[in-house]
Amino acid sequence: MQDELIRIPRTEYPQRWEKVQAVMRDQKLDIILAYSDDRATYGNAYARYYTDLQTHFEPVLVMFVTDREPVILTGPETDGYAKERAVVREVKVLAELAAEDEDYPFSEVESLKEIIRQYAGGEPKRIGLSARVHMGAELYEALLRAYPYAELVDTDQFLAPLRGIKSPGEIAVLCRAYEIANAGMHAAIAAVRPGITEREIAAEAEYVMRKKGCEGYGIDPIVSSGPNAVHVLARTTTRMIEENDIVVITLAPRYEGYHGACGRTILVGNPGEKAEEAVKAMIRAQNLCAENLVPGNVGSSVEELGRKVMKEAGYEKNFMYSGLHSVGVIEFEPPIFGPSSSTVIEKDMVISVDIPLFEADISGMRMEDGYLITETGARKLTDSPQWIKK
């Protein structure tokens, strides 16, 4: 029996648009163009968050103006699906996103300048761009040609923080995403044994997660073992698990646009006392951070507690990235609570505590759990055991 479908209420989207329009007024922006594509890690964020549209194959621009709901600009093959699926009513086929070597004789294809003229009421002088770093060169150059004298303003710094505090609808969707991550992790752990390949373990996790409603992944499932687990980013391979191996599993399933994230280190047989002590240090670091996920605490100060534990264990330089981050329409999204951050933890944030140990003289390791911040502390959303020895 399928689980009940939990989705973001459609009544929530206009509230999100209003916040963007407030940014536009504050920054004196005529329009904002928020870019999305189908890259798993970052691609879907803006289109999904503001229009509930999953981008695939063709990129999408969500165009915000100050006095009306946003407009979707996309390619001709996304047009019909976007009109059916998206929360916004207006979808335009953008010439700059149509494939050059294909014909679409029955689509109304318009240029960026034509569409902006229709909705912005003139030549924009200040144009906000979100996710510009992911925008293709041709699209960006087309914008420069259309508006050579306009000022382009990076708006990620204004829009990304708006996603930090989660609504009740978002919390419900995120909790389901974590239920899916939990089921996948349990299946993966159960599959670990000498003689099975990394990809077979990943397949067991993916099968369970897909059955429970996973639509895709913030990052591809990572199952790495032995020498494959040394680096922060690993790829799941056909390597076979051996006796006395270390297996690192990272899962980040996406459900209705939102992610759950869980990471575990599994000791197979007897990989040695040093490996066991390293895992125990990670568990101490993880739990100490979790105990201090309290509204009002500065996130970087909480993260520093975990760093201190790993430093005392001899792995200071192997804690290679920010260990606390928000989770939402991006698996690793702002606010990021690294050493340079001054952001304060607030109620209704969903935070991942990710303790890394990589590029060391032992196998790489990860311990990652998710937490919902409540008035008094944190409710753990992941449920796999932290100490796993098989």
Residue 378 confidence (pLDDT) above 60: yes
Distances in Å between the Cα of 9 and the Cα atoms of 55, 87, 167, 212, 329 are: 20, 10, 10, 20, 15
Rounded average pLDDT over 199-225 = 97
Helix and strand element counts for the chain (H, E): 10, 19
Token pair of 35 as six digits? 């870019």
Q: List the one residue out of 166, 275, 270, 261 whose CA is nearest residue 219.
A: 261
Is 95 in contact with 109 (CB distance < 8 Å)? Answer: yes
Residue 104 confidence (pLDDT) above 90: no
Cα–Cα distance between 282 and 367 in angstroms, integer?
A: 6
**Which residues have a Cβ under 8 Å from the Cβ of 15 and sit 6 or more positions away?**
none
Question: Which residue has 């318009």 as its token pair?
Answer: 110
pLDDT in tens, 145-178: 999 999 999 999 999 999 999 999 999 999 999 9
Rounded average pLDDT over 37-45 = 93
What pLDDT, on a 0 to 100 scale, did the predictor assign at position 3? 66
Sheet holding 126-130, edge to edge: 109-110, 91-94, 71-74, 60-64, 31-36, 126-130, 151-154
Per 3-state DSSP, what percentage of the chain is helix, strand, and coil (rounded to 5)?
A: 35, 25, 40
What pLDDT, on a 0 to 100 scale, did the predictor assign at position 1? 40
Q: List the one residue out of 52, 266, 14, 29 whose CA is nearest residue 150.
A: 29
What pLDDT, on a 0 to 100 scale, did the predictor assign at position 71? 98
Please report which confidence band the pLDDT of residue 2 belongs to, taking 50, 70 and 90 as the band edges: low
Rounded average pLDDT over 68-79 = 96
pLDDT in tens, 217-274: 999 999 999 999 999 999 999 999 999 999 999 999 999 999 999 999 999 999 999 9
Half-sphere exposure of residue 54: CA atoms within 13 angstroms, side-chain side? 11
Residue 100 confidence (pLDDT) above 80: no
What per-residue string of b and e applies to 228-242 under the rule 16 or more CB within 10 Å gives b? Answer: bbbeeebebeebebe
pLDDT in tens, 336-372: 999 999 999 999 999 999 999 999 999 999 999 999 9
Question: Which residue has 């870019």 as its token pair?
Answer: 35
pLDDT in tens, 281-331: 999 999 999 999 999 999 999 999 999 999 999 999 999 999 999 999 999
The percent of residues above 90 in pLDDT, for the chain, comes to: 93
Taking each helix axis as running N to C, give the angle between helix 168-191 and helix 198-211, from 0 to 180 degrees, rounded to the nearest 10.
Answer: 140
- Of 3-7, 24-28, 52-56, 163-167, least confident by mean pLDDT is 3-7
**Does residue 102 sit in helix, strand or coil?**
coil
